[in-house]
Structure 1
Amino acid sequence: MNRRQMLRAALAPALLVGLGTACSEPQPDTGSVDVVDPGKIPPTPAPSPTPSLPAGPLTGAPVSAAPLAGRQAVAVPLRVSPSTTPAGLDAADLVYAEFAESDTLHLTAVFHSRDAKKIGPVAEIRPVDIRSVGVLHPVVGYAGGPTGFLTQFEKSGLAGVTPDDGDAIDDGYTSTAALLKAAPKGGQPPTPPLDHATDGAALAARDLVPATELSVTVSGGPPMVWRYDQQKSLWVGKVGTATVTAASVIVLTMEYRTLDVRNPSPRSLPSANVFGEGAVVAVSGPSSAKGRWRKPGQGMVCTLADSGGDLLHPQPGNAWVVYAPTTAKVTVK
């Protein structure tokens, strides 16, 4: 081998190394960064589910804050004439309506899931208030009443607040906050009075019909007409001069009797007999159903069943329960 051949043989490995380095991808300088195998990257943790809020016992709908579900209810009787502008009804979860004397309504408004800053005008206590809300365990704000009615209230075991008890009722009006503050400690939440629909269940298992209007006509009483607002999915009516809405309106037909009271002033009052049983007509959502109601006594919930005996399931939301005399005309269109 001559000198030129010996030099070529010595340079060949160096050229191969140089060419290999020149043709390969430049390697990044990772420094102190840890390189992780993509196959071992832990999955992104799923977001924690939003805690579901409990349903209000009077509405069947989730409350705005969990503590509300466990607090005591507030009940207030109101007397409403065609010229009265009642306050607070828009916040009531449940309203019972009795046809009273002189073209008026005696309402029992029950508040639980929402607060009302002004409720009134507060009326006297009547037997219908005691018999309607006894199972709900509310504190009742009322403006006195005939001696016999006051005795019935005392025997009922319900907590009561009157204008004589501090300033919870002032100039005929009150609020949920004022009544709860004045109530005895240890009040319990209400028993659910209705079997509300869940998962989109229908109002009734049978004889369900579409409905857009409900009217209750009573001789000598104020007209009561409810119409369905499809956009809001609510029934809209008028009480006094106020427009009111409800997810459900339930009409219970029952006997009325006349009560003669002596103290503090002699007079005769119509009174709905809410214990017993009778016909029921209910509207909820765009539907109506008929059936029977039954309430054996003070401590019992009023059950509502369709024509086959299965429970009615009003849609979640506030409700009005109308006590219609047997002579009333109840019409659904």
Structure 2
Amino acid sequence: MTAVHGQRRVRPRRATTTAALLAATLTASLAAGCTTSGGSRDDGRGRQQPASPSESLADGGSALAVKIDNARAARPHTGLNAADIVYVEQVEGGLSRLMAVYAQELPKAVGPVRSARESDLELLRQFDRPMLAYSGAQSKLKPLIDKTPLQARPAGRKSTAYFRGPDRPSPHNLYLRPARLMPSAPGSNVLTTGFRFGPAPAGGKAVAAQSVRYPAARFTFTWSRSQGDWLVAMDGKAATTTDGQRVTAGTVVVQYVRVRASAFHDALGNNTPYTETVGSGKARVLRDGRAYDVTWKRPKATDGTTFTTAAGKPMRFQHGQVWVVFAPAP
């Protein structure tokens, strides 16, 4: 089967008064517009030739990955619904952070932006020289970032691409202007993830909700038949963006992985967990109100991740945004 990328869904805008004021504040700080790419393209690690010179790697045709703060003080997020993929990982103290990957649409702003972790480098190897936007990294990690085949864009090197919002205290107020890093959205051909999209496979179990817990964070995905999406909640509260939209996902992947201690610690001495995304294991895929217990496999870092049903068939995702939650394997 040929894999087809998730097509963008148009979400209705339901801005509340508070959210509208916050969005207006951020908009006033911006000098760049929203850019989209034309059409969906094939995926499944198929390395097609770019459709035009503007999509070549030399011209910035690479995925944009943004490390996003997910502390309570960092919410609501900005620009999250425009992402093609949202990865969730555990960090110090049992908290969580997000890695949002953009290809088909570049929002005006994304954030709040926070620092990179060692696990991010392995995760991003599946893309071809992706651009990584982050607030910074501890000094011992910087040599590893320099050796990884990605385009590092920390706040210090591209200061005009970042700005501080006035609505919340530092460090939860750093935002990125994606258009200052790349002229246009590169298109879905850069999403070399191995994900396959299409009709749902046979089987699965009807589920109303699925939760994933870290020591100090909780995510719940609730099926909305009326919206045809999974509604995202964080720490027991409905997740929204600064323009008042609910955060939703077409497909949710709970991927069970090994989470081990790394050689890095935060300023308080807490160890930084390392999430291993190369290997194999079990996963649960949520789509269309049903849950599918599958296996995942990623032989090496430069490969995408394949998901296979119990019948030995490729697990196909629903079109739209994909959330991948890395959960510690039992």
Normalised by the size of structure 1, how large is the TM-score?
0.71
How much has 1:68 moved relative to structure 2?
A: 8.4
- Contact residue 80 and residue 239 of structure 1 kept, 8 A: no
Report what 2:222 is aligned to.
Answer: 227
Report what 1:59 is aligned to.
Answer: 6
1:172-321 matches, cutoff 5 A? 172-181=174-183, 189-197=190-198, 201-202=199-200, 204-205=201-202, 207-218=203-214, 220-239=215-234, 242-243=239-240, 244-261=247-264, 267-321=270-324
1:121-140 matches, cutoff 5 A? 121-137=112-128, 138-140=130-132
How much has 1:300 moved relative to structure 2?
A: 0.4
SS state of the match for residue 180, structure 1? coil
Q: Which amino acid aligns with 1:75?
A: A
How much has 1:119 moved relative to structure 2?
A: 1.0
What is the alpha-carbon distance in structure 2 between the residues aligned to residue 154 and residue 121 of structure 1? 23
Please point out which of 67, 72, 76 is paired with 2:66. 76
Q: Which amino acid aligns with 1:66?
A: G
Distance 1:147-1:104 versus aligned 2 partners, 3 A rule: same
Report what 1:31 is aligned to.
Answer: none
Structure 2 unaligned residues grouped into runs of 5+: 11-35, 42-54, 56-60, 165-173, 241-246
What is the alpha-carbon distance in structure 1 between the residues aligned to residue 127 and residue 107 of structure 2? 18
Distance 1:294-1:123 versus aligned 2 partners, 3 A rule: same
Distance 1:254-1:88 versus aligned 2 partners, 3 A rule: same
SS state of the match for residue 231, structure 1? coil
How much has 1:318 moved relative to structure 2?
A: 0.7
What is the alpha-carbon distance in structure 1 between the residues aligned to residue 109 and residue 232 of structure 2? 20
How much has 1:221 moved relative to structure 2?
A: 2.7
Aligned length: 264
How much has 1:308 moved relative to structure 2?
A: 2.4
- Contact residue 93 and residue 270 of structure 2 kept, 8 A: no
Q: Which amino acid aligns with 1:59?
A: G
How much has 1:151 moved relative to structure 2?
A: 2.0
Q: Which has the larger radius of gyration?
A: 1
Structure 1 unaligned residues grouped into runs of 5+: 1-54, 328-333
Distance 1:263-1:229 versus aligned 2 partners, 3 A rule: closer
- Contact residue 161 and residue 168 of structure 1 kept, 8 A: no
Structure with the larger RCO, 1 or 2 (CA within 8 Å, 6+ apart): 2
How much has 1:121 moved relative to structure 2?
A: 1.6
Report what 1:100 is aligned to.
Answer: 91
How much has 1:322 moved relative to structure 2?
A: 0.4
Distance 1:180-1:67 versus aligned 2 partners, 3 A rule: farther
- Contact residue 294 and residue 302 of structure 1 kept, 8 A: yes
- Contact residue 83 and residue 101 of structure 2 kept, 8 A: yes
Normalised by the size of structure 2, how large is the TM-score?
0.72
Distance 1:297-1:114 versus aligned 2 partners, 3 A rule: same
Task: Supply the RMSD in Å over aligned alpha carbons.
Answer: 3.0
Report what 1:152 is aligned to.
Answer: 144
Over residues 232-275 of structure 1, what are the superposed CA-to-partner deviations in whole Å (9 max), with x where a residue is unaligned?
10000124763310000001101111123269885411121111
What is the alpha-carbon distance in structure 1 between the residues aligned to residue 177 and residue 119 of structure 2? 21
SS state of the match for residue 116, structure 2? coil
What is the alpha-carbon distance in structure 2 between the residues aligned to residue 73 and residue 58 of structure 1? 14
Greater strand content: 2
- Contact residue 222 and residue 231 of structure 2 kept, 8 A: yes
Over residues 110-131 of structure 1, what are the superposed CA-to-partner deviations in whole Å (9 max), with x where a residue is unaligned?
0111121121121111122222
